[in-house]
Structure 1
């Protein structure tokens, strides 16, 4: 059976119309090549190879997702220096215009212009933002971001935020800076990427405390991640308790295994079909108002 049919078989068995994947990467070609170069270098440094499973041209990657039955996906972009976010946002807007099943994605960086281009992005139709605390090496509590968080809170536009200390800790990663951020902006719609690994417990605590905090499943529960950063078994019951605020993410195309592994990993703890339906589709459909 082809890969497409195996993925389709997974969601059809749940009675779903497809999958919504909140954590996929589409970027300008030169930026994507640099990202892939980073992962190529990870293996020799860590002793654990990271082969990019879907290293294809952009149009082929889009068709892969469509073939899998992914109804909506994102173009997670992120800057690592000033004056980069605006250019990425322009590229992402054009990509979403040409790719209607992609939720228009934008990003930001702590700089004087951030408040203006974030407000403009929201006004012109951005559905989700990406913040990468680790790669960007910035504090989410940088004063330059205060007006950004303010407008995002008022607009209710979700932010997928990579803030956990995996795969390697950064200067500003971990639950502490996010707890401080939420104490100041308690109605922010944050989607904690990778469920905050390896600080699973602490980010589950924040989701318990704040009703607009979600967690995405990106790379979690797979054999690849469980071998190095297993989800704590004494926290599995909390996955069920937070069923309505966990959403599926894959990290496509930058994953070192087939797409189906990410879906099959969701079945690891036998949380039931209603949980799988909520995570693979219904929660994100509700969050992003997808019919």
Structure 2
């Protein structure tokens, strides 16, 4: 990957369908997410199609799925498939994995194998979808391995469009995505690189507090059009957190084109824009020197 040739690095995109057509989520949850984002023409690109999309735009993208089998009963897209497909497009795609923490010690062994044997560069957690609190000690063996391997852990934070409008929210509990629950993880694993995904509605101030207090906690800006960002998020991105805020789209529900068009209208200092769009992510992901 030639980082200097890239205009941006999108740290938050979803592999929603396998090569065989297996979806990442149960149909009713996927439909609710599409309705929430008003993605009426929502489609599920394959990983090679994602690569072509980002290559055309001279961007790189972090790609992951979410393993929610314990909570939902829906089998995940295989992490190995995601990693292999990304490896075939290594000029633009960076593979992350998702390991259900309910797998216990087996989760930790799997995480090690995915990094060492399959080139995975980080891990995605969705506490609400996976039905666990980030500070639950049952996840600690998994965090321990991720910290040892030196790759980031990305946590969904804030409300989720998945399950929105479904009776009972599809059984998804929003409370597990309060970023303050990740603060314990940052304390107990001080060298673990953590990304708090999304503007963390309704806990934006909590996310800013954790990211300013813990040196290895970052925030990605995915899942929202920048025109809806809370003003305090913009203020911190322009100042205290300018080296810890990352471009993320949430593709395919939000396209990088739409996100970047709205970001261009946001009141961000000229010297901060390249940090958010590429340089912070390149440093965090080990694609560039500190």
Q: TM-score, normalised by structure 1?
A: 0.80
Q: 1:204 to 1:154 in 2, by over 3 A?
A: same
Which residue of 199, 206, 215 corresponds with 1:195? Answer: 199
Which residue of 49, 52, 65 corresponds with 1:60? Answer: 49
- State the Cα distance separating 1:38 from its structure 2 match: 2.9
- Number of equivalenced pairs: 266
Contact 1:23 1:251 in 2 (8 A): yes
In the TM superposition, what whole-angstrom CA distance separates every residue of 1:40-73 from its partner, at most 9, and x where no partner exists?
33577x6x73325554454333211111111x21
Tell me whether 27-36 or 203-212 shows the greater mean CA deviation. Answer: 27-36
Confirm whether residue 220 of structure 1 aligns to residue 224 of structure 2.
Answer: yes
Partners of 1:41 and 1:86 lie apart in 2 by 18
In the TM superposition, what whole-angstrom CA distance separates every residue of 1:2-23 from its partner, at most 9, and x where no partner exists?
xxxxxxxxxxxxx974211111
Identify the residue that residue 127 of structure 1 maps to in structure 2. Answer: 121
Unaligned runs of 5+ in 2: 165-172
- State the Cα distance separating 1:131 from its structure 2 match: 0.8
Unaligned runs of 5+ in 1: 1-14
Partners of 1:16 and 1:266 lie apart in 2 by 21
Q: TM-score, normalised by structure 2?
A: 0.80
Q: Which residues of 2 match residues 177-196 of structure 1 at below 5 A?
A: 177-196=181-200
Q: 1:195 to 1:31 in 2, by over 3 A?
A: farther
Structure (1 or 2) with the greater helix fraction: 1
Partners of 1:84 and 1:156 lie apart in 2 by 30
Partners of 2:281 and 2:176 lie apart in 1 by 28
Identify the residue that residue 232 of structure 1 maps to in structure 2. Answer: 230
In the TM superposition, what whole-angstrom CA distance separates every residue of 1:164-222 from its partner, at most 9, and x where no partner exists?
23446524121232122223223321111113233211101100011111111113343
Identify the residue that residue 92 of structure 1 maps to in structure 2. Answer: 82
Q: 1:42 to 1:260 in 2, by over 3 A?
A: closer
Partners of 1:274 and 1:85 lie apart in 2 by 44
Partner SS for 1:120: helix
Partners of 1:171 and 1:205 lie apart in 2 by 18
